[in-house]
Amino acid sequence: MPGLPTTYATTTLRDGVVSLGTRRFPHGELGPDTVVIKPDHLGICRADAKEIHGSRDVMADRGPLFGHELVGTVAFAGGRTGFRPGELVTLNPNITPTRTTGFAEYVLVRGTGKQLDQAVVRVPEPHIRDTPWMPEPFACIVHALDKLLDLTGLPALHGKRVGIIGAGCAGLMFAMYARHLGAPVAVFNRGEPRRAFARQQGILADHEIHPLTDAEAAAHRGGYDIVIVAPTIATTELLETAAGLAADGAVLFVYGGTRAGDTFPTGAADVDTIRRRERIESVTHQGKRLELSGAYGCFREDYEKGFRLHAEHPQDFPLEKLTSRRITPEEFPHRVMDIAAGRADFPGKVLIDVTARHSRAHS
Ligand SMILES: NC(=O)c1ccc[n+]([C@@H]2O[C@H](COP(=O)([O-])OP(=O)(O)OC[C@H]3O[C@@H](n4cnc5c(N)ncnc54)[C@H](OP(=O)(O)O)[C@@H]3O)[C@@H](O)[C@H]2O)c1
């Protein structure tokens, strides 16, 4: 195929070890149902680290997530795909498992026209190459908060006090969107580095970010109508902290960190299924009635709404400011293994700049 190489660089994840190597380009797979994307920028997600570590349940309907946050250009589009070479696109990994890892020079996605229409999403922002941000994690947040409104029947969040556990990428984007929908927000984070990052980047004001231990303070206990749980791991202790923040009748919305079999309160509601199936269920915790809910994944429509929100309200959604570090593809294997092993931890988003030669801190 003209323009496509005979070999390409790609990563392999095997037994917790990530390695960068060269593979023969699979020209034989360039059929009418295949799109090939050449990424410009890739994001490291907490899910990537969990898959290296072996602490993530992989869903059969979408496959491993290792290497799913990316923005790039269509390098090949089969006749039935509806795409054209040269289009600026991103990936929705929640649609089909028939794709190769994004941590590569080329990514192959195969599916029916209907699947590809959801799995490959056009990016309407050409300048995303100069000031990159990752559309997938934002689309998941848009989807999740819209799902919360849908499940609770709320038209917006005006007058609702929103508490968020975790100032990781997810927690910060929840804060942006909840504020945009009219809610005052309070984000609680265990460690100081992510709290400092959120303040320094101007994403959260001083009064919006707190140590997790403050969740126990009288000023916060029982003070929130919606509590969003968005840490790496939703331990029973963290869910209890979230329940403590919740007012009677509040929504406890679990976004991240559950695994098959997890329950809350212990032995009661199946919190992992509630999250992955996007349900809402009433539970009682320490005499308090709570609506336990959650969300999982996203659709093309969520990406499109995310792009609109970012374009129309850039002040509300400073998504570029989430980037804390840019690294080269060569640095990626050891950096991501350090993150997975807990030897390194960066606030915000670490981006792999395929065009970069040296790592550099982002201001
Ligand atoms: N539902 C979905 O569709 C969806 C989509 C994407 C991601 N997720 C999930 O969302 C979660 C957060 O992702 P992210 O991108 O925001 O990750 P991230 O940027 O790496 O942030 C991780 C957050 O978890 C906190 N944390 C980790 N372990 C903790 C513990 N034991 N106690 C208290 N806090 C703890 C960290 O706090 P410190 O600063 O104190 O370490 C940090 O705030 C992950 O579980 C991810 O899998 C869900």
Alpha-carbon distance 178 to 164, whole Å?
10
Helix (H) or strand (E) holding 74: strand 69-77
Report the separation in Å between the CA atom of 341 and the middle of ligand 1, taken as the mean of its atom positions. Answer: 15
Answer yes or no: do 117 and 193 share one domain.
no
**CA-56 nearest atom, ligand 1:** 47
Q: Which domain CATH number covers 193?
A: 3.40.50.720
Q: Which domain CATH number covers 76?
A: 3.90.180.10
Residue 313 falls within a domain, yes or no?
no
Q: Which of 174, 150, 195, 179 has the alpha carbon at shortest distance from 291?
A: 150
**CA-140 nearest atom, ligand 1:** 3
Answer yes or no: do 197 and 68 share one domain.
no
Report the separation in Å between the CA atom of 2 and the middle of ligand 1, taken as the mean of its atom positions. Answer: 42
Residue 336 falls within a domain, yes or no?
yes
Tokens of 234: 């939703």
Residue 99 falls within a domain, yes or no?
yes
Token pair 């009748």: residue: 249
**Torsions phi, psi for 188 (to 5 deg):** -115, 125
Alpha-carbon distance 172 to 78, whole Å?
38
Tokens of 75: 């390098």
**Torsions phi, psi for 331 (to 5 deg):** -75, -20
- The confidence score (pLDDT) of residue 2 equals 62
Alpha-carbon distance 107 to 317, whole Å?
28
Residue 22 falls within a domain, yes or no?
yes
Report the separation in Å between the CA atom of 189 and the middle of ligand 1, taken as the mean of its atom positions. Answer: 10
**Torsions phi, psi for 238 (to 5 deg):** -70, -40
CA distances from 243 to 157, 233, 278, 308, 316 (A): 19, 16, 19, 33, 28
Answer yes or no: do 119 and 145 share one domain.
no
Answer yes or no: do 286 and 165 share one domain.
yes
Alpha-carbon distance 336 to 326, whole Å?
12
Report the separation in Å between the CA atom of 123 and the middle of ligand 1, taken as the mean of its atom positions. Answer: 26
Q: How many domains does the chain have?
A: 2
Residue 305 falls within a domain, yes or no?
no
Q: Domain range holding 74?
A: 7-123+318-361
Per-residue pLDDT tens digits for 126-162: 999 999 999 999 999 999 999 999 999 998 999 999 9
Residue 188 falls within a domain, yes or no?
yes
Answer yes or no: do 145 and 224 share one domain.
yes
Residue with CA closest to ligand 1 atom 2 = 296
**Contact call for residues 111 and 91 (beta carbons, < 8 A):** no
Answer yes or no: do 243 and 188 share one domain.
yes
Answer yes or no: do 336 and 270 share one domain.
no
Other CB atoms closer than 10 Å to residue 13's CB: what's the count? 20
In this prediction, the residues of the chain whose per-residue pLDDT falls under 70 are 1-2, 356-363
- Chain CA centroid to CA 57, Å: 16
Answer yes or no: do 141 and 260 share one domain.
yes
Q: Which residues form the pocket of ligand 1, taking CB atoms under 6 Å from any ligand atom?
A: 45-47, 137, 140, 166-171, 189-191, 194, 230-233, 235, 238, 255-257, 295-297
Report the separation in Å between the CA atom of 241 and the middle of ligand 1, taken as the mean of its atom positions. Answer: 15
Residue 128 falls within a domain, yes or no?
no
Alpha-carbon distance 182 to 123, whole Å?
27
Report the separation in Å between the CA atom of 167 and the middle of ligand 1, taken as the mean of its atom positions. Answer: 8
Residue with CA closest to ligand 1 atom 30 = 233
**Contact call for residues 164 and 228 (beta carbons, < 8 A):** yes
Answer yes or no: do 240 and 187 share one domain.
yes
Three-point CA angle 16, 56, 342, nearest 5°: 55
Cis peptide before 265 (omega within 30 of 0): yes
Which of 232, 275, 345 for a ligand 1 pocket mutation test, highest count of atoms within 8 Å of Cβ? 232
Answer yes or no: do 162 and 285 share one domain.
yes
Number of H helices, E strands in the chain: 9, 19
Report the separation in Å between the CA atom of 347 and the middle of ligand 1, taken as the mean of its atom positions. Answer: 11
Residue 129 falls within a domain, yes or no?
no
3-class DSSP state of 328: coil
Answer yes or no: do 77 and 140 share one domain.
no
Answer yes or no: do 323 and 277 share one domain.
no
Alpha-carbon distance 160 to 138, whole Å?
22
